[in-house]
C-alpha cells in the first residue's frame, strides 16, 4: 500500500469514528406521511446522526436520497422494518446515497421500480444486514440491481440478502477496495458481480438459484477499466440454473443459465476454496469479452487467473451456452465443470477435474470456429495464491459489530 492510500484509509477511519457530541438519534415510524417524514429526516440529518426506522412497513411512493456524510440509517431488522415501494410512482432507485461514511443496516426493501439501494461516489460505505427483494420473483421488469455501490473507495457488503434482481443482486462497479461477505444472493440474473474494479474479496457467501452465481467482469467503454486483483473464495455456489431474465441488450443477458463463477476479461483473479455443485452449464467459465469493441484502451483478455482447491460437484449436464447440446453429446452427455474459451494468458486450473477448451484464438470469434477439446491447464508445479487480503478502515469493521 503506498503512502497516499494509507493516508486516505486513515482519514476515512477518522471520519467514520468521529461522532460529533451533538449527534442526534432521529426516529421515524411507519404510517401516514412516512414518505415525507423519512425524506425530511434524511435531508436534515447532520454528520454523526443516526436515523432509526421503527419496525413496520413503510408504504413509499417515491425514491429516497441521502447526501449527508457520516449518517447511519438503522432499522429493526431486515424482515421487521420494510421499505415498501410497491406503489412507487417514479422509475428510480429506492434509496440513493451520494455521501461518504454512511452505514445502512438492518432493514428490508421491496419492489422498487428501479435499483434497490444505490450509492454513487460514496466512500467508506457499509451495507449490513439488509434485504432487497422483488417479491414476484424473477421478472424482466424488476429493478436491475439490488445492492449497487459504484464509483466508490472502501465498500463493505456484509450479511445482506438479495432476491430477484434483473441484473445483479450484489453489484460493485468501478470501485476500489471491496469486501462482499456472509451474504445470500438468490434468484437474480447475476448473484454477485464485481465489475471494472480494483481489489475485491468475495467470500463466505451463498449464491444459489441465480442464472450465474458470481461474475468477475471487465468491460469496455467505461471510465475505469483494467479490473484486477479479485479473490473469490470459501463461497457456496450451487444450483444456479434460473432462466436468464435480464432485459435484452444488457451484458448479463449473455450469461448462460447454469453458470457458477464466470471470469471475463480481467487481470489477477483467484478462485479457491469454494463449493460448486449442480450448475448445469458449468462451475467455472474463463473467457474473453465476446463482442466486438472499438475501445482502443480496453484489454478483452483474461490474464493471470488461478482456480484451485475448490470442491467441484456435478456440473455441465445441461449446458446452456451456444453449441452446448452438441458439446455435451460429444463428451458423453456432460461437459467438464471448468471451461476456458482458449483466450488469455497465465490461465491455471489446478482442481482435479477436466477442463474444456473451446479452442478460440482471439476474442469475439464466431462459435463456428471453435475447436473444443479437453486440455491440461494445471501447469508444471503448484501455483501459490499471491493476492493480499483486502483491508478496510477499522471504523467500517467496527460499524458492523455495534
pLDDT tens-digit readout, 37-94: 999 999 999 999 999 999 999 999 999 999 999 999 999 999 999 999 999 998 889 9
Q: How is residue 322 written as a grid cell?
A: 451456444
CA distance 340 to 353: 13
Percent over 70 (pLDDT), the chain: 95
Per-residue model confidence (pLDDT) at position 23:
81
Phi, psi values for residue 169, rounded to 5°: -70, -50
Is pLDDT of 10 > 50? Answer: no
CA distance 287 to 356: 12
Mean pLDDT of 284-297: 95
The structure's pTM equals: 0.94
Is pLDDT of 230 > 80? Answer: yes
Q: How is residue 258 written as a grid cell?
A: 447454469
For the chain, give the mean pLDDT: 94
Per-residue model confidence (pLDDT) at position 250:
86
Is pLDDT of 18 > 80? Answer: no
Is pLDDT of 192 > 90? Answer: yes
Per-residue model confidence (pLDDT) at position 131:
98
Is pLDDT of 6 > 70? Answer: no
Residue with the larger pLDDT of the pair 2 and 102: 102
State pLDDT tens for residues 139-155. 999 999 999 999 999 99
Evaluate whether 388 touches 7 at the Cβ level (below 8 Å).
no
Mean pLDDT of 201-226: 97
State pLDDT tens for residues 87-130. 999 888 999 999 999 999 999 999 999 999 999 999 999 999 99
Is pLDDT of 13 > 80? Answer: no
| Alpha-carbon distance values, 73 to 8, 31, 42, 130, 257 (Å) | 24, 18, 9, 11, 36
**Residue 69: partners with Cβ closer than 8 Å, 6 or more residues away:** 15, 47, 99, 100, 101, 102
Per-residue model confidence (pLDDT) at position 21:
58
Q: 8 forms bridges with which residues in the sheet?
A: none
CA distance 268 to 346: 9
Per-residue model confidence (pLDDT) at position 134:
98
Is pLDDT of 3 > 90? Answer: no
Per-residue model confidence (pLDDT) at position 140:
95
Confidence of residue 172 (pLDDT cuts 50, 70, 90): very high
Q: What domains, with CATH codes, occur in the chain?
A: 25-388 (2.160.20.10)
Confidence of residue 323 (pLDDT cuts 50, 70, 90): confident
Is pLDDT of 14 > 90? Answer: no
Amino acid at each position: 500500500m503506498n503512502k497516499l492510500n494509507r493516508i486516505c484509509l486513515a482519514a476515512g477511519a477518522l471520519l467514520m469514528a468521529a461522532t460529533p457530541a451533538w449527534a442526534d438519534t432521529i426516529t421515524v415510524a411507519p404510517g401516514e406521511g412516512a414518505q415525507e417524514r423519512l425524506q425530511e429526516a434524511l435531508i436534515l440529518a447532520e454528520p454523526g446522526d443516526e436515523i432509526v426506522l421503527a419496525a413496520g412497513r413503510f408504504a413509499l411512493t417515491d425514491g429516497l436520497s441521502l447526501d449527508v456524510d457520516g449518517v447511519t440509517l438503522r432499522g429493526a431488522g431486515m424482515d421487521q422494518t420494510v421499505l415498501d415501494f410497491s406503489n412507487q410512482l417514479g422509475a428510480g432507485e429506492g434509496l440513493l446515497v451520494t455521501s461518504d461514511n454512511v452505514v445502512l443496516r438492518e432493514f428490508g426493501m421491496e419492489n422498487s421500480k428501479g435499483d434497490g439501494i444505490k450509492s454513487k461516489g460514496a466512500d467508506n460505505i457499509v451495507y449490513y444486514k439488509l434485504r432487497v427483494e422483488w417479491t414476484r420473483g424473477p421478472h424482466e421488469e424488476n429493478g436491475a440491481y439490488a445492492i449497487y455501490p459504484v464509483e466508490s473507495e472502501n465498500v463493505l457488503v456484509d450479511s445482506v440478502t438479495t432476491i430477484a434482481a434483473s441484473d445483479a443482486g450484489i453489484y460493485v462497479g468501478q470501485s476500489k477496495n471491496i469486501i462482499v461477505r456472509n451474504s445470500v444472493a438468490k434468484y437474480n440474473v447475476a448473484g454477485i458481480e464485481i465489475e471494472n474494479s480494483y481489489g475485491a474479496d468475495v467470500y463466505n457467501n451463498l449464491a444459489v438459484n441465480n442464472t450465474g452465481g458470481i461474475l468477475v467482469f471487465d468491460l469496455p467503454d467505461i471510465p475505469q477499466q483494467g479490473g484486477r486483483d479479485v479473490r473469490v473464495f470459501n463461497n457456496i455456489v450451487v444450483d444456479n440454473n434460473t432462466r436468464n431474465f435480464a432485459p435484452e441488450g444488457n451484458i448479463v443477458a449473455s450469461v448462460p443459465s447454469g453458470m457458477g463463477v464466470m471470469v471475463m476479461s480481467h487481470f489477477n483473479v483467484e478462485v479457491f476454496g469454494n463449493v460448486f455443485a449442480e450448475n448445469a452449464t458449468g462451475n467455472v467459465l474463463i473467457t474473453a469479452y465476446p463482442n466486438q469493441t472499438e475501445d482502443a484502451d480496453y484489454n478483452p483478455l483474461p490474464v493471470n487467473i488461478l482456480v484451485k482447491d475448490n470442491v467441484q460437484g456435478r456440473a455441465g449436464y445441461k449446458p446452456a451456452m451456444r453449441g452446448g447440446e452438441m458439446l455435451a453429446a460429444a463428451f458423453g452427455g456432460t461437459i467438464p465443470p471448468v471451461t476456458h474459451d482458449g483466450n488469455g494468458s497465465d490461465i491455471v486450473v489446478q482442481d482435479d477435474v477436466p477442463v474444456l477448451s473451446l479452442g478460440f484464438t482471439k476474442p469475439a470469434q464466431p462459435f463456428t470456429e471453435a475447436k473444443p477439446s479437453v486440455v491440461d491447464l494445471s501447469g508444471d508445479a503448484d501455483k501459490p495464491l499471491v493476492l493480499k487480503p483486502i483491508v478496510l478502515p477499522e471504523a467500517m469493521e467496527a460499524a458492523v459489530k455495534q
